Amino acid sequence: MRGIIHCLGAVLRTKLAEQMAYRSHFILSVLLLVAGDLVVPFVTLLIYSSGASFPGWSMHEALLIQGVFALAKGIAFPFFFGMVGTTLHHVREGTFDLLLLRPRPVMLMAMLTGFDPDDFGRLFSGAVIFGFALSGMSQPALGAWLQFGLLFIAAIAILCAVSLFLSGMLFRWVGSSRVFDIFDAVTSFGMYPGTIFAKSLQNLLTYVLPVGLIAFVPATALLGRSGLEALWTLVPVSLFLLLGAVYWNRMLKGYTSAGG
Amino acid sequence: MIEVRNLTKTYMTHERGHTLREVARNLIRRPMKEITAVNNLSFTVPQGEMLAFLGPNGAGKSTTLKMLTGVLHPTAGEVRALGLTPWKQRREYVGKIGAVFGQKSQLLWDIPPADAFYMNKAIYGVPDAEYRATLNELVDLLEVGDVMRKPTRQLSLGERMKCEFIMAMLHRPQLVFLDEPTIGLDMIAKENIRGFIRSMNRQGVTFILTTHDLEDVEMLAERVIVINHGTIVFDDALSGLKSRVGNKKSVRLTTETAVPDLQLQGLRIAERLGPLEIGVEIDTDLLPLKNFIREFNDSYGIADMEIQPIPIESIMKELYLENAEARSEAAVSATK
Amino acid sequence: MRRLAAIIRSIGFATYKEWAAFRSHMAASLLVGPVLFLVQVFIWSAMFEGRDTINGLTYSQMLAYYGVATLIHYIAFDFADWNLQMLVRSGKFVTFALRPLPHWLFALSQKIGHRSLALWIEVLPVMALFIFVFGVNLKPASPFWAIISILLSFLMNFIVNYCVGLTAFWLVRAEGVRRVFLLLKDVSAGVFLPLSFFPEVLQKVLFFLPFQFITYLPTRVYIGDYELAGIRLSIEQAVGLQAAAVLLAGAIMLVLYGAAMRRFTGVGV
């Protein structure tokens, strides 16, 4: 464990130095991520200001979901999601073997080399939306905050698992940047109140493909709208994460035995 | 065919720091520095010549090449090539020249070279009959009849390079620029490529070659221009390069007793291969070979010996270094 | 002229072949497009609960907007900017500078080849899904003007992206700027929301920017009525305006290309 933290520290340092060397690039890329995260909330804002609404959801409540979504990305993306890009690049160029030569677990190496400090910028956009949303509603109780905290960790675990699935897919589906589009499309279900979807789809999005748990369920907990039974969702989350890790390792094995 | 006069290229670059403090300071002020990449080059290349540009990394070779191909404007000086000024009549000029880059492929990675050839035919506006005739000739010469119908990514580097050559020669250019054309190839592939270049050259095509591979130079070039720090330090036939360093021999010998570090005119101990085995360089004008052998046999007892001419690599090394020394000496005297 | 057609055809054909190996990458749109559309279906059916129109659009018009916008997005899809900046950064641009053909023409031919492959892998299947699975009404108000408008959108998207790519000659490592810009382009083109939802002031600005001609205008032309910033245009007028805008943008692109070539031959980026 200490070794891992040591590695992470070293990677963090070099990545930051790299970003400083191209600081204008760094600032702009943070700006881009912030702008990207603001698109859907902006659209939500425009829709609400034209008089329409999600039935049973005020604008601030709807924005709260999108704020939580951006915050979860802000923590999960720097650490985990970069590995998708790393795998994409290294498998396409045939340089993934370099990671296999390191005396550390390959999954860890893939995550470390993909570590991307730019993505912390999303914490900013997330905080802005989140703060704005909270300002327009009554303050949540302490219990709601605790429940939210637990579910938020689960949300990060889901994003980690999704990163593993997408990255694993790229061992076979060489060089396809379309995985990012697939990610955006599939997770877009998670940016809106789950109640707008058909009941069967809601269940699917909670227990099978748990994108509803990234933002909708934690936000509902913060709004005090869900009881403790929401914590049961932690079970499918752990399963999903486990499945992600197993899938990734299988795909890696397939890749290495095929000889690149 | 090519006439170059006083060709000069300078540009400004930012100085970029390495430490965090330098980087932080650069946020405020970015110091500029003028670099002279090419300084006052003049030479001519007659039709049908095979000319090699040599020089260490960053010497100004590729800048020169870019100006000769018209993709870079010089700061000063003139170039006339094929009756045109490359950068002024660029479109017309590039339609008449060819270029092969060892590290920048023109082929399309996922489709067979044959398709990419066809694309270039359209771009260069080669008439059908001429295209077929040229393609057949080149394909026969390079023996890539089957190869060119396979997707490029499946080809070996050697096969790919052959196809790069076809791609560059389809419009029958009279002047062809080659940049590291044999980089990374195995011996046989290198031989094939060199053979091809020679036979094209016999048909009258002028080749201008930049490379670090001295074997390319020995096998191909009639004339060598060595550039260092943006200026020409040598321009002559390859044989001239060899005689330039004097009559030197490289000798490897095994002795019965160890040879100490001795000072002897015309002799330099180049390397110690073992306690009783050394490599030396001898300037035979100062130290005739027979004297050397007699002296060494008397003093240390020669057990085994191998005499060779100085390899071209050491000549080049000397040439690059000699020039650097001259420069630093000039710099020192300038500050005095 | 005939030679030009031959050039475009041969480059387009080579690109078509080149990308045919990546059919599966394109086919990902068969998942992405319908999934994103499904989300819109749920959003708008919730929004339209208890009301007939939002911002003057009915539910079925709204779905048609997203359906058509998605299809136009796939037809006019472009990555000329990415391609060009990659060539500049890797130094491979020089191999194009050494061919007697302006690179923008090469890139446009590539796009034509690339999109003709996409037509039957992405566009038509997604269109079929929209019509038969989602029951969207995708009948154009006037097929002739719709096709002209989509072709102009194809050109406009290329021109805008190519201009963005040209900035690589000055800003070598500014992928970030370009991506911010392209995101703003999509927002201002009406990819995420019809522009008529934007505040009045923004609508007036957007009317004069080139982006509405990529998605919003052709989509409205397809559906059969155009309105932005309080300006109503007939289909013919809208397409005429679009054509003028494309011509202007094309002229700007050529000027920028000329400047980029002077820069390239000046410092050899």
| CATH number reported for the structural domain that contains residue B65 in this entry | 3.40.50.300
Confidence of residue B323 (pLDDT cuts 50, 70, 90): low
Whether residues B65 and B188 share a domain: the answer is yes
For residue C202, the SS3 value is: helix
For residue B37, the SS3 value is: strand
Q: What is the pLDDT of residue C182?
A: 84
Task: Tell me which chain C residues have a C-beta less than 8 angstroms from the C-beta of B106.
Answer: 95
A&C contacts, CB < 8 Å: 95
Which of B242, B266, B296 is where one domain is finished?
B242
The answer to whether A196 contacts C35, with C-beta atoms less than 8 Å apart, is no
Q: What is the DSSP letter of B260?
A: P
Supply φ then ψ for residue B72, to 5 degrees.
-140, 135
Whether residues B189 and B287 share a domain: the answer is no
Residue B83, both tokens: 């009756």
Q: Are B224 and B235 in contact (CB under 8 A)?
A: yes
Which of C39, C58, C216 is best to mutate for the A interface (most A CBs within 10 A)? Answer: C39
Q: What is the mean pLDDT of chain B?
A: 85
List A residues 184-203 in contact with C (Cβ-Cβ < 8 A).
184-186, 188-189, 192-193, 196-198, 201
User: How far is the CA of A206 from the CAs of A225, A232, B248, B322, in angstroms?
Assistant: 16, 11, 82, 74
Residue of A nearest to C181 (CA): A32
Q: Are B308 and B249 in contact (CB under 8 A)?
A: yes
Confidence of residue A259 (pLDDT cuts 50, 70, 90): very low
- pTM for the model stands at 0.82
Supply φ then ψ for residue C137, to 5 degrees.
-80, 105
Interface TM-score (ipTM) > 0.90 = no
pLDDT of residue C248 exceeding 70, the answer is yes
Q: What is the pLDDT of residue B334?
A: 45
pLDDT tens readout for residues C167-224: 988 887 667 677 778 888 999 999 999 999 999 999 999 999 999 999 999 999 999 8
Task: Mean pLDDT check: name the lowest of B179-183, B284-288, C166-170, C256-260.
Answer: B284-288
The answer to whether A32 contacts C24, with C-beta atoms less than 8 Å apart, is no
Which of C58, C62, C82, C179 is best to mutate for the A interface (most A CBs within 10 A)? Answer: C179
Where are chain A's structural domains? 2-257
How far is residue A34's CA from residue C233's CA, in Å, rounded to a whole number? 36
Please indicate whether residue B175 or residue A121 has the higher confidence score (pLDDT): B175
Whether residues B117 and B185 share a domain: the answer is yes
pLDDT tens readout for residues B201-213: 999 999 999 988 8
Task: Tell me which chain B residues have a C-beta less than 8 angstroms from the C-beta of A21.
Answer: 16, 23
Which of B103, B104, B120, B150 is best to mutate for the C interface (most C CBs within 10 A)? Answer: B104
Residue C163, both tokens: 């201009």
pLDDT tens readout for residues A68-112: 999 999 999 988 998 999 899 888 877 887 777 777 788 888 888
| Residue environment code for B151-185, b if the CB has 16+ CB neighbours within 10 A, otherwise e | bbeebeebbbbbbbbbbbbbbbbebbbbbbbbbeb
The pairing of strands B175-179 and B97-101 is parallel
Whether residues B272 and B201 share a domain: the answer is no
CA-based nearest distance C1→chain B, Å: 12
pLDDT tens readout for residues B278-291: 988 888 888 888 88
The answer to whether A189 contacts C39, with C-beta atoms less than 8 Å apart, is yes
For helices C80-90 and C103-118, give the axis angle rounded to 10 degrees. 130
User: How far is the CA of C38 from the CAs of A16, A197, C35, C177, in angstroms?
Assistant: 40, 10, 5, 31
Within a domain: B323: no
Which of C2, C265, C267 is best to mutate for the B interface (most B CBs within 10 A)? Answer: C265
How far is residue A77's CA from residue B144's CA, in Å, rounded to a whole number? 48
The answer to whether A21 contacts B27, with C-beta atoms less than 8 Å apart, is no
Task: Tell me which chain C residues have a C-beta less than 8 angstroms from the C-beta of A192.
Answer: 39, 42-43
Handedness of CA B215, B218, B223, B228 (dihedral sign): positive
Helices (H), A94-198: 97-100, 106-113, 121-135, 142-172, 178-187
How far is residue B234's CA from residue B40's CA, in Å, rounded to a whole number? 14
pLDDT of residue B105 exceeding 80, the answer is yes
C190 in the Ramachandran plot: left (φ > 0), alpha (ψ -120 to 50) or beta? Answer: left
Which of B242, B265, B293 is where one domain is finished?
B242
Which residue type is seen at A98? Answer: L
With vertex at residue B204, the alpha carbon angle to CA B202 and CA B208, rounded to the nearest 5 degrees, is: 95
pLDDT of residue B170 exceeding 60, the answer is yes
Which residue type is seen at C40? Answer: Q
pLDDT tens readout for residues B125-165: 889 999 999 999 999 988 888 888 988 888 898 899 999 99
Spatial CA neighbour of C239 closest among C142, C139, C115: C142
pLDDT of residue B327 exceeding 80, the answer is no
pLDDT of residue B172 exceeding 80, the answer is yes
Rounded-to-10 torsion of CA B215, B218, B220, B224: 110
Q: What is the pLDDT of residue B335?
A: 44
For helices C103-118 and C2-20, give the axis angle rounded to 10 degrees. 50
CATH number of the domain at B269, please: 3.30.70
How far is residue A90's CA from residue A110's CA, in Å, rounded to a whole number? 10
Confidence of residue C259 (pLDDT cuts 50, 70, 90): very high
Residue A223, both tokens: 């709004």
Q: What is the mean pLDDT of chain C?
A: 90
pLDDT of residue C156 exceeding 90, the answer is yes
Helices (H), chain B: 20-28, 61-69, 90-94, 113-124, 128-142, 157-169, 187-202, 214-220, 238-244, 289-300, 312-335
Owning domain of residue B157:
45-242
Q: Are C133 and C34 in contact (CB under 8 A)?
A: yes
Whether residues B65 and B198 share a domain: the answer is yes
Is any Cβ of chain A less than 8 angstroms from the Cβ of B30? Answer: no
Residue A220, both tokens: 């509902």
Whether residues B150 and B276 share a domain: the answer is no
Task: Mean pLDDT check: name the lowest of A17-21, A139-143, B59-63, C145-149.
Answer: A17-21
Spatial CA neighbour of B150 closest among B111, B118, B119, B189: B111
Domain count, chain B: 2
The pairing of strands B50-54 and B206-210 is parallel
Q: Across the interface, which of A47, A54, A182 has its CB nearest the CB of C32?
A: A182
Residues 6+ apart with CB under 8 A from C40: C63, C66
Confidence of residue A141 (pLDDT cuts 50, 70, 90): confident
Please indicate whether residue B270 or residue A160 has the higher confidence score (pLDDT): A160
Q: What is the mean pLDDT of chain A?
A: 87
Confidence of residue B330 (pLDDT cuts 50, 70, 90): low
Within a domain: B5: no
Q: What is the pLDDT of residue C198?
A: 92
User: How far is the CA of B22 from the CAs of A11, B15, B29, B33, in angstroms?
Assistant: 21, 10, 10, 16
The answer to whether A54 contacts C183, with C-beta atoms less than 8 Å apart, is no
Q: What is the pLDDT of residue B21?
A: 65
Whether residues B184 and B267 share a domain: the answer is no
Whether residues B192 and B55 share a domain: the answer is yes
Residue B51, Cβ neighbours under 10 Å: how many? 20
Whether residues B215 and B115 share a domain: the answer is yes
List C residues 106-165 in contact with B (Cβ-Cβ < 8 A).
106
What average pLDDT score do residues B9-29 get? 66
pLDDT of residue B336 exceeding 80, the answer is no
Task: Mean pLDDT check: name the lowest of A6-10, A41-45, A239-243, C86-90.
Answer: A6-10
User: How far is the CA of C238 from the CAs of A215, B219, C199, C247, in angstroms?
Assistant: 41, 67, 21, 14
The answer to whether A28 contacts C184, with C-beta atoms less than 8 Å apart, is no
The pairing of strands C231-233 and C226-228 is antiparallel
Whether residues B265 and B201 share a domain: the answer is no
Q: What is the pLDDT of residue A143?
A: 87
